[in-house]
Structure formats: structure tokens, C-alpha cells
Amino acid sequence: MYRSIVFLLFVNFASCFWHYERTCGEIGRWRHPWFQPKNDDEDFESLAQCVIAADNFRKNSCAKSTYHRTQVIQGLNFYELKYYLQEFDENSITVKIKYRVLYVTAKKLGTDSFKDLRILPDSLKMTDATWYFEGDVLRVLIPYKNQLKTEVTLTCGDSDHDSSDMTLIDVPKLKDDQIELRFSKEFT
């Protein structure tokens, strides 16, 4: 009797040191915290699986939409996404950004709707993003953090992301008089 109690206490104590670990696109597994990967390839593989899982999620989301006329333009001052949305209601358009994920929705005058989900480059200043709708074309404009062809040193310890990057940004629409003044140099 005492042996079974001691054995159960031992199992209970030993199980406290184990935890369930799960990474992107992988089935979880139990691991002891003292377990060390044999090499750094496990970090590489784990990050690659997360990126592949994110891309597959985006592709599946895109496949649900019937409107696939989107262009990306990397201009001198702005990263631009152009959506060709004929017969869509301008008042139904919403553009949101959270961290590096862009979400665009619009509704057609009937019942059809448009949704686009994109992962944006890290070199963009998400808080300054804007959009406007002109001639059945939605343009989402996001300025770069640094000028193009500027050398930027990347380090592991320093991150230019803060807690504001994790909040949801409702991207503001440009007013008609701001379009010409703000972007005339960019598109000439």
C-alpha cells in the first residue's frame, strides 16, 4: 500500500516538470524543460512551418473570394495595393491592420462581398496607412519605415515592434482634397 502511494507521489511530482508544447502546423507533444534540441535546425524548421502555415491560411482565405484582381506596387515612397472592385459600395469598404496582417472587406450593391487577407512586409509603417476609392479601384497606401535602398542593421535583441503594433488599426480613408496634395509626387 505504501509503495503504491509513494509511486503515485513520485509520478505526480515528476509530471510537474513536463509541459505540452505545440508549434505552428504541428501536432503537440510532451517535453521535459531540460530537453535541449540537438541542433539549431529545429528552430529553423519550426519557424519555416509557422510561415508555411500562415501562407496556407492566407491562400485558403483567398480561395473563398471570387474577386482576385489585386496588384502590389512597390513605389518610391509607398507600398500600394490596388483592388479592382467594380460595382462595390464605397461606404461598405473597411481596411484594417493588426501587426503585419491586412484585412480588406467590401460589399457589392447586391449580396456579394469581397475579403482579402494579406501578410505585409516588415518594412512598412502600418500606423500611417491610408486608403481611397476612385473609379472602381481601391488603393491602400502604406509608407515605408525607411527610404528604399537604405541600409538597415537587423539584430536579434533589438525589435522595433512595441505593444502598439499588436492593436487593431482601422485604416482611415483619405479625403478627396488630400489625395492630390499628398500623393502627387508619388505617382507622377
For the chain, which residues make up each domain, given as ranges?
18-64, 67-146+164-183
Q: What is the pTM of this model?
A: 0.70
Question: How confident is the model over 86-97, as a mean pLDDT?
Answer: 89
At residue 4, the pLDDT reads: 74
The model's pLDDT over 111-136, given as tens digits with 9 standing for 90+, comes to: 678 888 889 988 899 999 999 999 88
Taking alpha carbons only, the member of 138, 29, 136 closest to residue 80 is 138
Name which residue leads in pLDDT, 84 or 159.
Answer: 84
Q: What pLDDT score was predicted for residue 181?
A: 47
Q: Of 131, 134, 100, 133, which Cα lies nearest the Cα of 117?
A: 100
Closest CA to 160 of 117, 119, 126, 118: 126
Question: Average pLDDT of the chain?
Answer: 76
pLDDT digits (tens, 9 = 90+) for 15-61: 555 555 555 655 555 555 555 555 667 778 888 888 888 888 888 88
pLDDT (0 to 100) of residue 78: 92
Distance CA 137, CA 84 (A): 5
What pLDDT does residue 187 have? 47
Distance between CA 27 and CA 43 in Å, rounded? 16
> To the nearest whole percent, how much of the chain has pLDDT over 90?
21
**Residue 55: how many other CB atoms lie within 10 Å:** 11
Provide the 10 A C-beta neighbour count for residue 172: 13
pLDDT of residue 79: 95
Task: State whether CATH 2.60.40.10 applies to domain 67-146+164-183.
Answer: no
Average pLDDT over residues 80-84: 94
pLDDT of residue 185: 47
